[in-house]
Amino acid sequence: MLIIAAVLLFWFLKTQAGMSLRATGDNEYMVRASSINSDRMKIMGFAIANALVSLSGAMYAQYSSAGDSNSGTGMLVVGLASIIIGEIFFSKHSILCGILAAIFGAVAYRFVLAFAMNLGMDSNYTKLFSACIVALAISLPAIKKYITKAYKHAVTNRRFKMLKLENINITFNKNTANERKALQHIDLDVADGDFVTVIGSNGAGKSTLMNVISGSYEADTGKIFLDGKNITHLKEHQRARTIGRLFQDPLRGTAPNMTIEENLGLAYSRGKRRSLTIGIRKKDVSVFRERLKELDLGLEDRMKMPVGLLSGGQRQALTLATIVTPKLLLLDEHTAALDPKTAEKVMRITEKIVKENALTTLMITHNISNAIEYGNKTIVMSQGKLLLTIEGEQRANMTVEKLMKLYSDTAEDELSDKMILQE
């Protein structure tokens, strides 16, 4: 029965539904941004877990020819210890290893307890011995991480309005001493194919604007239209079917414990219903490989590698590759956490993907030179307000010095030194 349950679980976790479930546990931000209902996935996970617990209880009662409501006392701690022990011997780089780790850990834990009992230990000492095993098991990952770190140290984006915002307002901490108007009367029209760069000082409302468009925040007043459709009251995962987003933190755009291939599989099922069919087919792999080749990072030869092993720049480039031709692409300071050389390469990849797919794009940047160099329009924000829209001939003749002066003449605050120095 254990083998059958393990095989069925292994099969399920390889399906589209199973991959969505695993990704929810791995990175909920990315899941919602991939149009997956994370709440539904959580319910599914709890249902499967409880089903397995019920099966275990039934098998135990049948084996013992008796049932006791107290027999499950402490099983949660035992289960946790078993999984941790198993992961010491089996890595989590594949589903099979994860399942084997849980099984092996449970068996190993019971063997240790049986050994203690065979020594004739008093029941109280057995409980102490069991507690020590649990404590050691919980400490092992930290110990392993410390040893690994010590070892490494020793070894030395047709022209019509694609996006329209009407009178968008949002206030944080309403009716409190910390009340702050994050966005004030924002009206914005973005034509199909526009590449709009967004600049402003810290606290100007740039990221809040992105969060309102993507559905992470709900506006207090106003309406949002995408491709003529009112999306004001759609949830984040529903908007994600047509809106792609790249975050400042490279960790938020991918599921680190899933492979490059599996991340692409999730991305290419964006907006589709998750079924029990195999998540990745052979023809999909060929498509993924060609898409990765365009990045020129050698990732097409490492499709079985967990994304968590990639560098920040590689993960941002991969996230760009996983965004499947959305109607709107949101780039929230996606190069801010990268070193200058990597940031420049990611920007080149970004520009290539945006141009080739004619993506309507909004990009927040703290690099003033990038704000002028990339895209066809620049908007300037300050204290939750949209101050300026720079386009056409004015933008073509714009320099960093002119933009700085324009900002200081119209805004009540100043741009940060970081933005000035990044020119």
Task: Please state the φ and ψ torsions of residue 358, each to the nearest 5 degrees.
Answer: 50, 50
DSSP state of 273: P
Query: What residue type is assigned to position 239 of the chain?
Result: R
CA atoms within 13 A on the CB side of 335: 22
Q: Which residues of 38-72 are buried (b: 16+ CB within 10 A; e: fewer)?
A: beebeebeeeeeeeeeeebeeeeeeeeeeeeeeee
pLDDT tens per residue across span 169-227: 999 998 899 999 999 999 999 999 999 999 988 889 999 999 999 999 999 999 999 99
Q: CB of 422 within 8 A of CB of 368?
A: yes
Query: What residue type is assigned to position 61 of the chain?
Result: A
Query: What residue type is assigned to position 298 of the chain?
Result: G
Q: Is the pTM of this model over 0.75?
A: no
CA dist 33 and 266 (Å) reads 11
In degrees, rounded to 5, the angle at the alpha carbon of residue 175 between the alpha carbons of residues 171 and 179 is 45
pLDDT tens per residue across span 154-178: 544 345 789 999 999 999 998 899 9
CA dist 269 and 282 (Å) reads 15
237 has pLDDT over 50: yes
SS3 27: coil
Answer with the residue of higher pLDDT: 149 or 390. Answer: 390
